Amino acid sequence: MTAPWCDKTGHEIREAVVRGDVTARVVTEAHLARIHALDGKIDAYTQIWEEYALAMADRVDEKRRSGATLGILAGVPISLKELMCTKQGETTCASKMLAGYRSPFDGTMVQRLAAADAVFLGKVNMDEFAMGSSTENSAIKTTKNPWDLGCVPGGSSGGSAAAVAADLCSMSMGSDTGGSIRQPAALCGCVGIKPTYGRVSRFGLVAFASSLDQIGPLTKDVRDAALCLNAICGRDPMDATSVDLAVPDFTAALTGNVKGLRIGLPKEYFTDALGAEVREKVMAAIEVLRGLGAETVEVSLPHCDYAIAAYYIICTAEASANLARFDGVRYGFRHPDAKDMRGMYVMSKSAGFGPEVRRRILLGTYVLSSGYYDAYYLKAQKVRRLIKQDFDEAFEKCDVVLGPTTPSPAFRFGEKTADPLEMYLSDIYTISVNLATLPGLSLPCGLSSSGLPIGMQLIAKPFAEETLLRTAHAYEQNRGFDMGKPPIA
């Protein structure tokens, strides 16, 4: 049975704390107790900040007693993905390369959550340097899916999704480079939103692929996602790519009204490659939205077939450049047996990075090398532009694009690790959104016959998060079934 307060949403907790029905300390203690009781089976947390979390909770309670206005996330217990820079604890990116590294600063997103009076429970597991779709690439531990401990939680934000699904936190912050928020959200039955590129500051997010990375929340419901975006979005002078655009009250978009909304159904997303059970649940969700007055129209995204190839050229090229800094000189792992500078570079990187990270660095270095740049990297950027144009044309006919988040429910451990391409195909429906710098949201639309969550994805125009949230909330409130809790919960 879920401990009191652990099964509540963030907005329910915040409202109770503001009213004085419960203290932030009591809520935090309940979550910490649940983590100690359950996380040994799930392995979502890499760091548990017990004293720090209780101190944050006490500050919230003192603030309330003093009559000060509480922040919009007052008392809400949140976990942070391992690649987010924090002065508290370590920032390891789930890699041997950064084991023991302590950031001298808090990232902008972390600062904004703290200013909103959130409580940080600790950090959660991920694929090393966010490179993976199953969290099997972590150098720390293997996180399990709470719905079936023999299945992956997705990746790279697998620890975030598993922690939210198992009520080990109320919300979790993840990052999404090619689906790393939305895919694990789908596999673990959570809501996950990747905002438009530039909507949230990346300052303090350890970079994987700088033109694709974006921070976003994984939550228990759509309202929590909107509430969290209210706290973290906005221009940041520390991030030149963050957009100077007014941040609306995203919760005001949750009207439940989708009458006249035009939903685009890409014919390329509903092929034989889509699992039968996923198709069934997504089509049922479409009927719910039609019943609420939304209209559907077929659209085409003809270049999405090339998305994975283009993505794995662009992201690996950027990873090769970004990860060059981890050389054992100033910080990070330095091999103890190195005898000279060349040996230090080669041995430290070979031992410090896991196989998937090494694979991507090598591929990225290759496509950027002399004689191959035009043939691979430049061509991939041209394909990226075509994918963006496909979406632009689709949005001339519709307000939101709807489809599956993943081709199938969660797969079993080891099922795809021997074939990297098969693993990469797990993100076939999510990658295009990052290439086109669009906002995307995944939310649960049912369970498979084996009791595993299935997610559907909504995609909107740049900076149209309000449209995503309005559509998702309307469906969530009218879907006619309860997803329930994972068996472990």
User: pLDDT tens digit string along 392-450?
Assistant: 999 999 999 999 999 999 999 999 988 888 888 889 999 999 999 999 999 999 999 99
Residue ranges and CATH numbers for the domains of the chain are 10-257+463-478 (3.90.1300.10)
Q: Which of 146-160, 292-306, 362-376 has the least mean pLDDT? A: 362-376
- pLDDT tens-place string over residues 82-97: 999 999 999 999 999 9
Structure tokens at 106: 């808090």
Are 387 and 432 within 8 A, CB to CB? yes
For residue 1, name the pLDDT band (cuts at 50, 70, 90): very low
Strand order in the sheet with 440-447: 45-48, 119-124, 77-81, 171-175, 215-219, 191-194, 440-447, 453-460, 400-404, 262-266, 295-299
Catalytic residues, by residue number, are 81, 156, 180
Beta-sheet pairing, 45-48 with 119-124? antiparallel
Average pLDDT over residues 234-242: 98
**Side chain identity, residue 198:** G
Distance, in Å, from the CA atom of 185 to the CA atom of 181, rounded to the nearest integer, reads: 6
- pLDDT at position 426 is 87
Average pLDDT over residues 166-171: 98
Q: Which of 184-193, 210-219, 423-432 has the least mean pLDDT? A: 423-432
- pLDDT at position 424 is 86
Residue 309 has pLDDT above 80, yes or no: yes
Distances, alpha carbon 446 to alpha carbons 284, 367, 474, in Å: 9, 41, 16
Q: Report H helices in 166-292.
A: 182-188, 222-232, 276-291
- pLDDT tens-place string over residues 436-452: 999 999 999 999 999 99
For residue 2, name the pLDDT band (cuts at 50, 70, 90): low
Residue 319 has pLDDT above 70, yes or no: yes
Average pLDDT over residues 298-326: 96
Average pLDDT over the chain reads 96
Share of the chain above pLDDT 70, in %: 99
Which of 152-186 are b and which e, b meaning 16 or more Cβ less than 10 Å from the residue's Cβ? Answer: bbbbbbbbbbbbbbbbbbbbbbbbbbbbbbbbbbb
**Residue 375, CA atoms < 13 Å, CB-side half-sphere:** 6
- pTM, two decimals, is 0.97
- pLDDT at position 420 is 83
Share of the chain above pLDDT 90, in %: 94
**Sign of the dihedral through C-alpha 334, 339, 342, 346:** negative
- pLDDT tens-place string over residues 9-27: 999 999 999 999 999 999 9
- pLDDT at position 418 is 85
